[in-house]
Amino acid sequence: MTDMSSSSNVRVVGLLLKDSSTGQIVLLAHYVDDMS
């Protein structure tokens, strides 16, 4: 988190899930890449 900055381009790699209780889409990811 400390390496992240606003407006930077990132890629989050992970599993896309739907929260069964809220219906929200949740992403469980292994890592974040800085794409800037």
Interface residue list for other proteins (CB under 8 A)? 1-20, 24-36
Cα–Cα distance for residue pair 36/16, rounded to 1 Å? 23
Contact 27, 15 (CB under 8 A): yes
Cα–Cα distance for residue pair 35/13, rounded to 1 Å? 12
Least Å from the CB of residue 34 to other proteins: 5
Least Å from the CB of residue 31 to other proteins: 4
Least Å from the CB of residue 15 to other proteins: 6
